[in-house]
Amino acid sequence: MSATLAEPRVIRAPRGNELSCRGWQQEAALRMLMNNLDPDVAERPEDLVVYGGTGRAARSWEAFDAMVATLRTLADDETMLVQSGKPVGVFRTHPHAPRVLIANSNLVPRWATWDVFRELERQGLTMYGQMTAGSWIYIGTQGILQGTYETFGAVARERFGGSLRGTWTLTGGMGGMGGAQPLAVTMNEGAVLCVDVDPRRIERRVQTRYCDRMTDSLDEALGWMDEARKSGTALSVGLVGNCAEVLPELVRRGVTPDVLTDQTSAHDALVGYVPAGLSLEEADALRASDPAEYQRRSMASMRVHCEAMVQMQARGAVTFDYGNNLRGQARDAGYEDAFAFPGFVPAYVRPLFCEGKGPFRWVALSGDPADIHRTDRLVLELFPHDEHLRRWITQAQERVEFQGLPSRICWLGQGDRAKMGVAINDLVASGEISAPIVIGRDHLDTGSVASPFRETEAMKDGSDAIADWAILNALVNVASGASWVSFHHGGGVGIGNSLHAGQVIVADGTPEMRERLERVLTNDPGMGVIRHADAGYETAIETADAQGIRIPMRER
Ligand code: NAD
């Protein structure tokens, strides 16, 4: 990294509707690359790190500068090729082709380990692109809040008739991602008790209005939960405590929540999880003096934590794993029943994937919040009967602060994404929206990811590790005319564990883009519908039939 240490570079995307490139397609890629490194968006912009460990937007500052310079001169019939965050070529293509093609962090399977990857990264040959860091469509914490809102919304629909009103949820962890849980539950109208061992984590969530109250008294917390549940009030409470102590105590008392999950950093026994019986200071001291003993205690505590969850599940709590590998750690610690409760994807997210639903998002290139507010109204106009969507949009307007260029996310499915994209393009054409809108999504989507520990865990036909789907997704997005397309390895769950694709398309108000939007936003989620139909999911087969998606071996 060549940034001068004395004076770190501060990158912000240009605003307004004046072009610094030769067309809006190139301008959009330029602004979104820069927006990913905006200090209000990125976690460590000085190191080009956007989020998720070391997920980068560019490999080096030289590569960043070269990409910016190339985008500024790129013609409307040229395509820039990016190899793990470095621009490596420009080819003449055609006006409807993507302006940028990106491949990040890919390794031949036999070499796909962290050790090999880190060595190649050290040599400057690759970078870690995560999912939306290296594909220039990260929008800050709104993404995790919405994803968590969707998961609890799916729990509400499947188990409690559509709302969490009158229920209470128990969970752990209020860190970077887990901190979205209290607000996501109250947005679904429920009460939630969130246990974190570190009071500073809870305080931060109270200050930013993600959590309503905090206490270090279990009795007080339970009293509040009881009142909220009885009166049907949405309430979030942070309890200072260790899950491996609090949960067994609740089991002893015979207290059972309606919904139970966990987002402590259980995936990391040394730096993530805090063992029972230690203060934070004692934990820090033991981690430094005797890491092996720390991990032994941490694993033993995770076993106790997981055992208590399984006991509460047996007493009726709707219980699921939230992607932190608590079950795997507990099993490694000798607990055979650790996998008694399911992961959140097979249990709650997959049914949404079967309808082509996933984290659809858009960004106003003008930088003007009024443009996003107009799209918020558009969502309510287009989908007036979707109560879950209305609740999200209304509360997001009130509670979510924009980071970098104003943006919005909501989960839309097959048919609705195309409808929304075309309608946004029409608003840009009529001038109701002041500059083009970029439309994209996470790689964690219905038909774009192969990830056996998360998105494709426990597929009905056992096809968890089949990655052809993710590659077909990237190819069909190129063929359909997305503005930029990316193919990555290792996002979310790490090197060796996932392959995934992304697409972004620019609604610039032209008739050509209207056509491309219709096509891309039909075919991209359509990949998820056919992937799940192929695996034998009934809802996906019904969605394909209802939406007229052709599946050759199902045609008579
Ligand atoms: P983080 O490290 O920022 O926060 C973890 C929190 O857990 C900290 O506040 C810590 O104080 C608390 N904690 C640790 N041990 C505890 C204990 N024994 N009792 C109570 N609190 C304890 O991590 P994060 O970014 O919030 O992510 C949390 C976990 O969720 C990670 O394992 C991550 O991989 C996983 N995750 C999964 C998904 C997904 O699959 N959708 C998404 C996001 C995060």
Residue that is last in its domain, among 122, 155, 179: 122
Rounded mean pLDDT, 280-307 = 97
β-strands 213-215, 86-92 pairing? unpaired
Q: Do the domain assignments include residue 2?
A: no
Q: What's the pLDDT band for 472 if we cut at 50, 70, 90?
A: very high
45: its two tokens: 């912009």
Residue that is last in its domain, among 347, 370, 395: 347
Residue 1 has pLDDT above 70, yes or no: no
Instruction: Count CB-CB contacts under 10 A for residue 53.
Output: 11
Question: Which amino acid, one-letter code, is at 255?
Answer: V
pLDDT tens digit string along 40-84?
Answer: 999 899 999 998 889 999 999 999 999 999 999 999 999 999 999
Residue 543 counted as an annotated binding residue: no
Residue 130 counted as an annotated binding residue: yes
Residue 448 counted as an annotated binding residue: no
Same domain as 517, residue 462:
yes
H or E element at residue 79? strand 78-83
Write down the mean pLDDT value for the chain: 96
Q: What pLDDT score was predicted for residue 556?
A: 61
pLDDT tens digit string along 276-291?
Answer: 999 999 999 999 999 9
Same domain as 391, residue 325:
no
Instruction: Let me know: does 74 contact 81? Beta carbons within 8 Å.
Output: no
Q: What's the pLDDT band for 554 if we cut at 50, 70, 90?
A: confident
Instruction: Count CB-CB contacts under 10 A for residue 166.
Output: 17
Q: Decide: pTM greater than 0.80.
A: yes
324 lines ligand 1 (CB under 6 A): yes
Same domain as 116, residue 159:
no
Position in ligand 1 atom list of the atom nearest CA 301: 18
273 lines ligand 1 (CB under 6 A): yes
Rounded mean pLDDT, 17-42 = 97
Residue 356 counted as an annotated binding residue: no
CA of residue 196 to ligand 1 center, whole Å: 9
pLDDT tens digit string along 420-467?
Answer: 999 999 999 999 999 999 999 999 999 999 999 889 999 999 999 999
CA of residue 180 to ligand 1 center, whole Å: 11
Which residues are within 8 A (CB) of 392 and not within 5 positions of it... i.e. 6 or more apart? 146, 149, 187, 410
Same domain as 155, residue 287:
yes
Give CA–CA dist 297/278, Å, rounded.
10
Q: What CATH number is given to the structural domain containing 240?
A: 3.40.50.10730
What values do phi and psi take at 381, rounded to 5? -70, -40
Q: Do the domain assignments include residue 7?
A: no
Q: Do the domain assignments include residue 554?
A: no
Same domain as 96, residue 43:
yes
Same domain as 155, residue 87:
no
Taking CA atoms only, the protein residue closest to ligand 1 atom 17 is 242
Rounded mean pLDDT, 115-128 = 96
Taking CA atoms only, the protein residue closest to ligand 1 atom 31 is 265
Residue 482 has pLDDT above 90, yes or no: yes
Same domain as 431, residue 326:
no
Q: Do the domain assignments include residue 291?
A: yes
Same domain as 354, residue 334:
no
Same domain as 516, residue 400:
yes
Same domain as 307, residue 186:
yes
Residue 137 has pLDDT above 80, yes or no: yes
Residue 5 has pLDDT above 90, yes or no: no
Give CA–CA dist 484/465, Å, rounded.
26
CA of residue 303 to ligand 1 center, whole Å: 16
244 lines ligand 1 (CB under 6 A): yes
243 lines ligand 1 (CB under 6 A): yes
Residue 492 counted as an annotated binding residue: yes
3-class SS letters over 471-519: HHHHHHHHHHCCCEEEEEECCCCCCCCCEEEEEEEEECCCHHHHHHHHH
Q: Do the domain assignments include residue 133?
A: no
Q: Do the domain assignments include residue 553?
A: no
Q: What CATH number is given to the structural domain containing 520?
A: 3.40.1770.10
List the catalytic residues: 410
Same domain as 296, residue 209:
yes
- Ligand 1: residue of 205, 261, 265, 449 to mutate (most ligand atoms within 8 A of CB) is 265
Structural domain range at position 38: 26-122
Position in ligand 1 atom list of the atom nearest CA 147: 41
Rounded mean pLDDT, 521-544 = 98
Give CA–CA dist 138/134, Å, rounded.
9
Q: 502 in the Ramachandran plot: left (φ > 0), alpha (ψ -120 to 50) or beta?
A: beta
Residue 265 counted as an annotated binding residue: yes
CA of residue 323 to ligand 1 center, whole Å: 10
Between 369-382 and 416-430, two packed helices, what is the crossing angle to 10 degrees?
Answer: 130
227: its two tokens: 């009142």
CA of residue 419 to ligand 1 center, whole Å: 37
Instruction: Count CB-CB contacts under 10 A for residue 67.
Output: 25
Question: Which amino acid, one-letter code, is at 71?
Answer: L
pLDDT tens digit string along 142-185?
Answer: 999 999 999 999 999 999 999 999 999 999 999 988 999 999 99
Residue 86 has pLDDT above 90, yes or no: yes
Q: Do the domain assignments include residue 169?
A: yes
Same domain as 403, residue 379:
yes
Residue 22 has pLDDT above 80, yes or no: yes
Position in ligand 1 atom list of the atom nearest CA 177: 26
β-strands 168-172, 484-489 pairing? unpaired
β-strands 168-172, 213-215 pairing? unpaired
Residue that is last in its domain, among 329, 347, 365: 347
Q: What's the pLDDT band for 8 if we cut at 50, 70, 90?
A: confident
274 lines ligand 1 (CB under 6 A): yes
CA of residue 157 to ligand 1 center, whole Å: 25
Overall number of domains in the chain? 3
196 lines ligand 1 (CB under 6 A): yes
Taking CA atoms only, the protein residue closest to ligand 1 atom 8 is 175
